[in-house]
């Protein structure tokens, strides 16, 4: 986009030509396009983005129709049908809506249509927002199990320093591990006054997409036709991020990257140890639960937490750092590390016992992972510490003997954090 807020027609036209060419080569293509707010600004003759949320939402509503009309016009020159897909993080967080979106993509692609995706800005508030279209494109790519994601921007790749200011800046050609190169590259190179994304969000997107098995490339939007080279040696300058050898697929990827946790389930040390030792989606029995907080419903994502015993100031500081570090990772939607256990917690001997009211708050616990709740928070509180055989009596029914499923542990019990952490978790609330 230029200062005039007019979409750069030459760029959009070459994107369209490239997509049509890719289609003729047999590829299925999904386009993620920003620009609704910019087009809205231009339509309303406004000089800059409004500060308030509702102002931006209104402009996006004004601009989105014109933006999609523009794409339709350009693709129409090639008789290429398109579809508008508007998503929010909230849509992806809800399992049914997520699956519906995946099915719609599949159907559109099988019909030979090019879906054009943007955030549904009108209803997006901070809690359910992707915020930038780099993250949205990475989530979209992992939803459709894409082979490639191309992040088009105003530089031709990732540099060791800002190439506009530093003549020694080098282009990084291949990245196998995003977190390993994070400190060695410049994130001050891409972005515009109209967008929210930049090189940092592109790194986050690359991390999400590659974890889901999608080879990702950062390349110049001046030459979108270069994407037709794929990752061949002949491809012009770009940065290629290698896809993970063992990609996180479907539900696990979805839990790790897209869900906004609606509450927390606090587990005991035994459950934590077991969950952090296995390698695929862990499941939690009520016996390993100390309690739950946050008004979550069944089917929603929850944080898996362990209790911090009030220890020495030094240990507290250590835990706080671990917690903050993990929160930062979770906030940026970065992949959680090793997926956790395929096994449940080995509790056999729980008797029905009186449990004191659960009075822990966010400040008393540390998040160690994420999962999907099978029951709501009040049901999980009624079930805490019990053997699963008591579920039908306590709830009046039992859908699953596990209270949380698809658990990914980000801070395993045997990680660098763990000696101190596992000493500090205790079974009693």
Ligand X SMILES: N[C@@H](CCC(=O)OP(=O)(O)O)C(=O)O
Chain contacts with ligand X (rule: CB under 6 A) = 34-38, 60, 118-119, 121, 132-134, 195-197
Can you tell me the distance from the alpha carbon of 346 to that of 311, in angstroms, rounded to the nearest whole number? 28
Min dist. Cβ of residue 386 to ligand X (A)? 46
Which DSSP symbol is given to 339?
B
Nearer Cβ to ligand X (120/345): 120
Min dist. Cβ of residue 95 to ligand X (A)? 24
Can you tell me the distance from the alpha carbon of 274 to that of 342, in angstroms, rounded to the nearest whole number? 10
Nearer Cβ to ligand X (197/291): 197
Nearer Cβ to ligand X (153/381): 153
Find out whether 275 and 302 touch, Cβ atoms under 8 Å: no
Can you tell me the distance from the alpha carbon of 331 to that of 173, in angstroms, rounded to the nearest whole number? 28
- Pick from 70, 90, 85, 64: nearest CA to 16: 70
Min dist. Cβ of residue 230 to ligand X (A)? 23
Strands 215-220 and 148-153 come out as parallel
Min dist. Cβ of residue 85 to ligand X (A)? 13
Min dist. Cβ of residue 88 to ligand X (A)? 10
Min dist. Cβ of residue 34 to ligand X (A)? 3
Nearer Cβ to ligand X (186/345): 186
- Pick from 311, 244, 249: nearest CA to 280: 249
Min dist. Cβ of residue 130 to ligand X (A)? 8
Nearer Cβ to ligand X (60/113): 60
Nearer Cβ to ligand X (36/407): 36
Nearer Cβ to ligand X (49/326): 49
Min dist. Cβ of residue 181 to ligand X (A)? 21
Burial 295-331 (b: 16+ CB within 10 A, else e): ebeeebbbbbbbbbeeeeeebeebbeebbeebeebbe
Nearer Cβ to ligand X (50/294): 50
Q: Which two tokens stand for residue 319?
A: 């835990």
Backbone angles phi, psi at 49, to 5 degrees: -60, 130
Strands 174-175 and 171-172 come out as unpaired
Min dist. Cβ of residue 33 to ligand X (A)? 7
Residues 6+ apart with CB under 8 A from 325: none
Strand ordering across the sheet containing 404-409: 282-284, 404-409, 365-373, 301-307, 263-267, 289-293
Can you tell me the distance from the alpha carbon of 399 to that of 388, in angstroms, rounded to the nearest whole number? 11
What residues are paired with 405 via a beta bridge?
Answer: 372
Nearer Cβ to ligand X (37/255): 37
Nearer Cβ to ligand X (239/319): 239
Give the residue closest to ligand X by C-beta: 195
Q: Which two tokens stand for residue 391?
A: 């579920």
Min dist. Cβ of residue 1 to ligand X (A)? 9
Please give the torsion angle defined by the CA atoms of residues 153, 157, 161 and 162, in that order, rounded to the nearest 10 degrees.
Answer: -30
């Amino acid at each position: 986009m230029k200062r005039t807020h007019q979409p750069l027609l030459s760029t959009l036209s070459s994107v369209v030509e490239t997509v049509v060419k890719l289609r003729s080569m047999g590829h299925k293509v999904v386009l993620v396009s920003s620009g609704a707010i910019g087009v809205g600004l231009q339509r309303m003759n406004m000089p800059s983005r409004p500060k308030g949320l509702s102002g931006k939402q209104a402009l996006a509503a004004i601009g989105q129709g014109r933006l999609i009309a523009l794409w339709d016009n350009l693709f129409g020159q090639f008789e290429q049908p398109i579809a508008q897909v508007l998503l929010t993080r909230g849509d992806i967080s809800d399992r049914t809506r997520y699956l519906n979106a995946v099915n719609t993509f599949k159907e559109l692609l099988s019909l030979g249509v090019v879906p054009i995706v943007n955030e549904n800005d009108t209803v997006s508030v901070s809690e359910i927002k992707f915020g930038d279209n780099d993250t949205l494109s990475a989530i979209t790519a992992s939803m459709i199990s894409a082979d490639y994601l191309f992040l088009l921007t105003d530089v031709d790749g990732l540099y060791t320093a800002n190439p506009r200011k530093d003549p020694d800046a080098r282009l990084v050609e291949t990245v196998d591990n995003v977190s390993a190169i994070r400190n060695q590259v410049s994130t001050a190179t891409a972005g515009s006054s109209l967008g929210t994304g930049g090189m940092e969000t592109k790194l986050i997107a690359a991390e999400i997409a590659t974890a889901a098995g999608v080879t990702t490339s950062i390349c110049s939007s001046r030459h979108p036709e270069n994407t037709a080279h794929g990752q061949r040696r002949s491809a012009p300058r770009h940065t290629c991020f290698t896809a993970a050898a063992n990609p996180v697929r479907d539900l696990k990827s979805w839990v790790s990257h897209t869900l906004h946790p609606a509450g927390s389930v606090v587990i005991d040390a035994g459950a934590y140890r077991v969950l952090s030792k296995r390698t695929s989606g862990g499941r939690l029995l009520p016996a390993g639960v100390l309690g739950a907080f946050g008004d979550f419903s069944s089917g929603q994502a929850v944080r898996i937490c362990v209790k911090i015993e009030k220890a020495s100031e030094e240990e507290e500081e250590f835990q706080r750092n671990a917690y903050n570090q993990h929160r930062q990772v979770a906030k940026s939607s970065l992949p959680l590390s090793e997926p956790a256990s395929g096994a449940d917690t080995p509790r056999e001997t729980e008797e029905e016992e009186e449990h004191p009211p659960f009075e822990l708050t966010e400040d008393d616990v540390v998040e160690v992972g994420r999962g999907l709740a099978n029951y709501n928070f009040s049901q999980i509180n009624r079930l805490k510490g019990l053997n699963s055989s008591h579920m039908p009596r306590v709830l009046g029914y039992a859908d699953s003997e596990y209270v949380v499923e698809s658990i990914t542990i980000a801070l395993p019990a045997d990680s660098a954090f763990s000696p101190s952490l596992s000493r500090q978790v205790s079974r009693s609330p």
